[in-house]
Amino acid sequence: MACAPYGDYWRQVKKMSFVQHFSNQSVQSFQFIRDEEVELLINKIRSVCLKGESIYLIDMLMSVSSNIVSRCVLSHKSEEDGRSKLGELGKRLLILFNSLCVGDMFPYLRWVDVLTGLIPSMKAVSAELDAFLDQVIQEHKALESYVKKNFLSIIMQLQKNGTFEMDLAQENIKAYWLFNGE
C-alpha cells in the first residue's frame, strides 16, 4: 500500500488493511501475544539481574519485537538458534535502506552503488526475503486447516473467498503481508 501507485489495487489494499488488520477488534485479538512476550521479557530481565549479570537491553527488545511480529503474522516464533530469521532479514533491510545511495541523488552516478556493493547487497537480501516469504506461504497452504488466525491466514482466506475484488498473485500477497504485517 505504501509503495503502490494510486488506483484500484491501492484502494482495495487500503480497504482490506483497515477492515481486516487495523480495526480495534483485530488489534485487540492479538493483545494476549503482546502480554505474553512482555511477561517473558520481564522474567528474563529478572533472572539476569538476580544472577548479577549485565543486560544488553537492545537485543532483548529486538527479540521481543520480532517475536510479537512473528507470532501475529506467522502464528509462531520464527527462531533459529535463538535468532529470528524474520528479525534478521528486517534488520539487514533497514540497514540497507538507511545506507547512502548515490544513484538516488545523482542518477548518472548510479553505477557507483554497484561498485560499493549496495545494489548487490539489496538484491541478496531481497532474494532471501522472497524465499522466506515463499516458504511461509507454502507452509500456510499445507497446514491451512491447522493454522491459527494470523495476518497471512486472513489474507489467504480473503483471496480464497473472493472477498478481494481483484485476483491476488503470490507476489501481491507477499508485498501486502510484508508491509502490513511488519
Question: What residue segments make up the domains of the chain, in order of their start?
Answer: 8-181
Q: Contact 137/171 with Cβ under 8 angstroms?
A: no
pLDDT in tens, 101-123: 999 899 999 999 999 999 999 99
pTM: 0.62
Picking from 154, 182, 175, 171, the residue whose alpha carbon sits closest to that of residue 16 is: 154
pLDDT in tens, 126-159: 899 888 888 877 877 776 655 566 666 667 776 6
Q: Contact 41/60 with Cβ under 8 angstroms?
A: yes
CATH number of 8-181: 1.10.630.10
